[in-house]
Structure 1
Amino acid sequence: MTFYTYNYLNGGQTNWKLVRIVTVVILALGFLFFIFMFFRHRWDRKYKDLSIILGTLLLLAAAIQYSDFTNMRTASVQSGQLTVVIEKSAAKLDIKPQDISINDTSRNTDMIIKTPRGYYKLIFNGSGSEFLLEKADLYKPDVKVIGE
């Protein structure tokens, strides 16, 4: 069973944002360079072809970047919901949120938290606004904690 720490959920799970942005900037600069060279040397078709190729790559990279941005925004909202659940659980158990790990990165009905005091099952009400903590005993737990 895999658990995710409060710090892992609170911080970003990806470090590729900078690399992707640098890639899009390099493609944009290359595209502008070849467009400039095409207007400077109108009779040389290689600059036109290269600018079309880089323009297509730039559009593809921008579309991928936008798709990843929307996916990260959705994941961020879900992680934000989970951090609130962890903070409320920590308050109920009178421990620090950093000492709690949760077994999923998106909110569902079968969630378990790992604390220094043991494992607890989260039982949500019908609207999902409140929850009950129930002590749980895991049979031969194979626990992997991500974010420690």
Structure 2
Amino acid sequence: MTFYTYDYLKGGQTNWAIAKIVVIALLALAFLVFMVKYTRNKWDMKYKDLSIILGTLLLLAVAIQYSDFTNLRTASVQSGQLTVVIEKSAKKLGVDPHSVAINDTSRNNNMLVKTPKGYYSLVFNGSGSEFLLVKANLYEPDITVKGE
């Protein structure tokens, strides 16, 4: 069973975003260079072909980046909801939020919270605005914690 710490959920996984933007910028620059060379040398077909190839790669990279952006936005909303749950759980139990971990990255009714005081099950009300912490005893838990 994998648990995710408060810091892991709060930090996000956006390390590759800058690298992707740099790749897109380099593709766009190379595309512009080959388009200028093609317009200056109308009879040199290699620049036209290279422009078409780089334009296609640029469109593909932008589409992938847009897809990743929408996935990241959805994940950040979900992790934001989870960090609020962790903060409220820590407050109710009287522990530091940084010592609390949760076993899922999306909110549902079968979640476990790992605290220094033990494991707790989260039971949400119908609207999902409040929850109940129930002490849980795990039988032979195989636990890994991401973010420690």
So what's the TM-score if we normalise by structure 2? Answer: 0.98
Residue 133 of structure 1: aligned partner: 133
* Partner deviation per Cα, 1:3-28 (whole Å, 9 max, x = no partner): 00000000012421111111101100
Equivalent residue of 1:126, what SS? coil
Cα distance in 1, alignment partners of residues 124 and 94 from structure 2: 20
- Report the AA paired with residue 5 of structure 1: T
| One-letter code aligned to 2:49 | D
Structure 2 residue aligned with 1:113: 113
What does the per-residue CA deviation read over 1:40-77, in whole Å, with 9 as the maximum and x for residues that have no partner?
Answer: 11111110110011000000000000000000000000
- Structure 1 CA distance, aligned partners of 2:13 and 2:104? 13
Letter in 1 for 2:18: L
Q: Which amino acid aligns with 2:81?
A: Q
Per-residue deviation at 1:110? Answer: 0.1
After TM superposition, the structure 1 = structure 2 runs for residues 30-109 of structure 1, keeping only pairs within 5 Å, are 30-109=30-109
Take 1:13 and 1:102, find their aligned partners in 2: how far apart are those partners?
17
1:138 CA drift (Å): 0.3
Give the residue type in structure 1 aligned to 2:133.
L
TM-score normalised by length of structure 1: 0.98
Once the two structures are TM-superposed, the CA of residue 96 in structure 1 deviates from its matched residue by 0.9
Look up the SS of the partner of 2:21 in the other structure. helix
Write the deviation string for residues 55-107 of structure 1: whole angstroms up to 9, x where unpaired.
00000000000000000000000000000000000110111110000000000
Q: Which runs of 5+ in 1 are unaligned?
A: none
Q: Distance in 2 between matches of 1:119 and 1:130?
A: 19
